[in-house]
Chain A
Amino acid sequence: MNLLDYLLAHPREVLTLTLEHIWLAGISVGIAILVGLPLGVAIARRPALSRAVLGVVNSVHVVPSLALFGFLFAVPWIGERAPRMAILALSLYALLPILRNVCAGILGVDHAVVDAGRGLGLTDGQLLRRVELPLALGVIVAGIRVAVVLAIGIATIAAAIGAGGLGELIFRGLAMVNNSLIFAGALPAALLALVVDLSLGWMEGHLRERV
């Protein structure tokens, strides 16, 4: 049978699930950036704290994603709705690459440049906004890129708890032993990851070139 059968027969459903998928991954990475950026800046200045925080965030990755989705059923407000659980779990996964790269990016800025800026009389905030963050941006975008690809991949599993997304087609296809259904979910998810990865990679290249 033709692998694209389902895709062509049900374009609306595939499109809806793709948008759902983008929404799940997008919101999650957005939350991870909102938390990871300030936290990464904070731990870049405190090496002791950085080890502890990265250790805790890293430990999330030890938990298999399916199990993590399962655990979240027990969490009060979160466990009531599947998308809430999915978004929290995906945010936790996406946090590590962002946090690590914000921290590494800031610590990687040439010491002579930071020294000069501080010695000339820039405040910590001015140094961060005008020097450290702009120069770390390429590395930070690289972290966001990893986070997005990770989130798009793991979001397929969110369908197992009923959070929607392209994983629904995959799980349905697995249950019905229907390959074209599996591909109808897997193909758009893979394309999505590829497109986002390439465009963020292009952006990262431009940002690094300036430095």
Chain B
Amino acid sequence: MASPETKDPAIALRSTSYWLPGGTVLVDSLSLEIPAGVTLVLLGRSGSGKTTTLKLMNRLLEPTSGDLFIEGKPVRAWDPIRLRRRMGYAIQDVGLFPHYTVERNIGLLPAVERWPAARIRERVRELLALVGLDASLAGRFPRELSGGQRQRVGVARALALDPPVLLMDEPFGALDPLTRAELQGEFARLQKRLGKTVVLVTHDLREAMLLGSQIALLEAGHLAGLYLPDDFQRTRDPLALAYRQAFSAPEGGPSQPQPRGLGDSA
């Protein structure tokens, strides 16, 4: 209950459920607390409710029952636009605006917030450097970038207003394994520096282990377990075990080309 320092968790779910009008339950009475500064990974297979859970956090979807608190305030009490601008949002397909240059993509939210032009330009340079992109790319259009560069721009855009929270939905999912590993490593370092609260959706166990300070294992819309990364390696829980097996099997094998099931097979 009331802890000595009454700091509210950045995000708290209390028996949060979401079901479709037809009755299909996507998120089933989920309870979770995400303290500020933590990187929580939502790990689960396709259809386990990870993305839905993420969309409940920034009010892209409204909980059908139960409640959800952002910084201690019920999510329904937040103005959705204000709320979303306090939560950066990066998704697998990136969704860069194809008719805008890199600079305008990253600077869109600051522009909408009516920052002066000089400040926006400066912020864009700063963010490009932060995500490891050359400033010369600012004038390019998304179609002129590689997949990895696009993802970096997506992360930079999500950070534009310096939001305390970052929501990421398989941000590295559509990349080749090498570029993905590179970006994961860089993001881990970036996260240490920025200290944001991050909620990251993935079905990649390696990504979860590398980036997560906590791992929430989801299955069929409910929480199957909440682990620290080290605990996840030790637990005897059958579902966690299945994950470890699925990800360790190919590693020891001979160097044959392996089928890649880690991509986007929604």
Contact = CB atoms under 8 A, between A and B. Distances in A.
B81 A123 contact: yes
Interface string A99-126: 0000000000010111111111111001
Contacts of A118: 60, 84
B20 interface: no
Interface stretch (A33-41, A130-138, A166-174): A130-138
B109 A121 contact: yes
Contacts of B95: 110, 112-117
Contacts of A121: 80-85, 89, 109
A117 B97 contact: yes
SS of A interface (majority)? helix
Interface in B54-100: 55, 58, 60, 80-85, 88-89, 91, 93-99
A210 B91 contact: no
B1 interface: no
A120 B166 CA distance: 10
Contacts of B82: 121
Contacts of B89: 116, 119-121
Given A120-B109, A123-B81, A126-B112, A211 B99 contact: yes
A130 B157 CA distance: 16
Nearest to B109: A120
A210 B158 CA distance: 24
B137 interface: no
Interface residues of A, number: 20
B217 to A, nearest CB: 24
Interface string A26-38: 0000000000000
A120 B98 contact: no
Interface in B133-163: 154, 157-158
B108 interface: yes
Contacts of B97: 113, 117, 130-131, 135
Contact of A211 (B94, B98, B109): B98
A122 B98 contact: no
11 contacts: A110-B95, A110-B98, A112-B91, A116-B91, A116-B93, A116-B95, A116-B96, A118-B84, A121-B85, A126-B112, A130-B112
Interface of B: 55, 58, 60, 80-85, 88-89, 91, 93-99, 108-109, 112, 154, 157-158, 167
**Considering the complex of A and B, which 7 residue pairs feature the smallest CB-CB distances, nearest first?**
A116-B95, A121-B84, A112-B93, A119-B89, A121-B85, A112-B95, A113-B95
Interface of A: 110, 112-123, 126, 130-131, 134-135, 210-211
